[in-house]
Amino acid sequence: MKKIIDIVFPELDDKIVRLELDDSLSPKTFEAILDNLPVEVSINKWGDELYTDRTTIATEQDDNAITEVNELDVAYWPEGNALCLFYGPTPISKNGKILAYSPVNIVGKIVDSSNKDDILNQIKDGTKVIIRESI
């Protein structure tokens, strides 16, 4: 099953980045995310990755957790109880490979946004966001 959720940026005129979660990638994490929406949290930037502060979403690292991710991957970071959006290299990326700080559970993709690159590049540490089911 797939589910569309939105990250709303109230500080950026309520612009939205749309995510498609897929339960076939990490079923327990998929359910944990949906069970805890909506979430209001601050988001931070680490290279070309956005990650939330600690959330109420709590689940274990999956057996298939990885550190090498793809551009536009959406992941859950068990170590920080955080959602992560990878849209380019992180500070530890090497040889064209996008690397997460530590293993993450992949849960979906960034699929749509109005001027995604403009939005993601404007984010500063501490930007408030609302993560909710798409309406």
Domain ranges of the chain: 2-133
pLDDT single digits (tens) 49-73: 999 999 999 999 999 999 999 999 9
Task: Tell me the pLDDT band of 114, cut-offs 50, 70 and 90.
Answer: low
- Max CA pair span of the chain: 39
Task: Tell me the pLDDT band of 116, cut-offs 50, 70 and 90.
Answer: low
Domain 2-133 architecture: Beta Barrel (2.40)
With a CB cutoff of 8 Å and minimum separation 6, the contacts of 35 are: none
- The type of residue at 118 is D
Q: What is the mean pLDDT of residues 75-83?
A: 97
Residue 53: exposure state from Cβ atoms within 10 A (0-12, 13-18, ≥19) = middle
Q: What is the mean pLDDT of residues 106-134?
A: 86
User: Using CA atoms, how far apart are residues 94 and 134, in angstroms rounded to an integer?
Assistant: 34
| Percent with pLDDT over 70 in the chain | 96
